[in-house]
């Protein structure tokens, strides 16, 4: 029997969170579903984060994905937007990590490149390519759902490749990969060296 697994792709956002699911059977992928979580009507940023967490948990508990692919926030000029996106991404990741599901981050350019062969492709080009590859009858009005689906498909295409993006298998892995490096020789040694210098 061919290996089967389900990949959940997420395009995090505090206005719209797009998501899509695919089933991988051997070396073929099948479309399961895509949708979006609309958050425009909520003014409180913490309510939005709570809803992102709850919806991600609901998707996990309903579809039991084996892996999660998530679009990493791009570095833009607007710091406030970056912070909001980072929070949305972090909350979605926390939901996955709380269920012990491996997570891989992909930069937007990497996802576009995997789907269309062009890292600067538009949302529409990505959506049209997904429609063709997965045999989708219609496309959603907002293309955040297809962006989420694109993350899942990108993960499928990158399977088995080294250095596909940052991957986390659980909280321990996440903390380890995102902690600042310890100074050479550890913290204690560096303090002792400084104290000796001060005495001279």
pLDDT tens digits, one per residue of 7-51: 999 999 999 999 999 999 988 999 999 999 999 999 999 999 999
CB 121 within 8 A of CB 115: yes
Marked catalytic residue, from 11, 36, 67, 105: 11
Is the pTM here over 0.85, yes or no?
Answer: no
11 labelled as ligand-binding? yes
CB 27 within 8 A of CB 65: no
159 labelled as ligand-binding? no
pLDDT at residue 92, as a whole number: 96
Concerning whether 58 is annotated as a catalytic residue, the answer is no
Concerning whether 11 is annotated as a catalytic residue, the answer is yes
Residues 6 or more apart whose Cβ sits within 8 Å of residue 151: 9, 10, 11, 20, 69, 70, 71, 106, 111
Marked catalytic residue, from 36, 71, 105, 147: 71
Concerning whether 144 is annotated as a catalytic residue, the answer is yes
Mean pLDDT score of the chain, rounded to an integer?
A: 83
Chain segment 84-110, per-residue pLDDT in tens = 889 999 999 999 999 999 999 999 999
Chain segment 127-175, per-residue pLDDT in tens = 999 999 999 999 988 899 999 999 999 999 998 553 434 555 555 554 5
């Amino acid at each position: 029997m061919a290996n089967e697994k389900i990949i959940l792709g997420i395009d995090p956002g505090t206005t719209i969170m797009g998501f899509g699911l695919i089933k991988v059977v051997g070396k073929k992928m099948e479309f399961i579903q895509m949708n979006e979580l609309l958050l425009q009507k909520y003014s409180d940023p913490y309510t939005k984060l709570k809803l992102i967490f709850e919806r991600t948990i609901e998707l996990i508990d309903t579809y039991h994905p084996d892996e999660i692919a998530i679009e990493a926030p791009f570095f833009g000029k607007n710091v406030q937007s970056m912070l909001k996106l980072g929070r949305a991404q972090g909350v979605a990741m926390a939901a996955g990590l709380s269920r012990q599901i491996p997570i891989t981050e992909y930069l937007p350019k990497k996802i576009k490149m995997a789907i269309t062969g062009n890292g600067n492709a538009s949302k529409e080009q990505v959506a049209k390519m997904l429609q063709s590859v997965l045999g989708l009858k219609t496309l959603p009005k907002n293309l955040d759902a297809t962006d989420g689906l694109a993350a899942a498909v990108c993960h499928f295409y990158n399977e088995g490749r080294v250095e596909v993006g940052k991957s986390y298998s659980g909280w321990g892995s996440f903390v380890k990969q995102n902690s600042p490096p310890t100074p050479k020789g550890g913290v204690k040694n560096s303090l002792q060296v400084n104290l000796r210098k001060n005495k001279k």
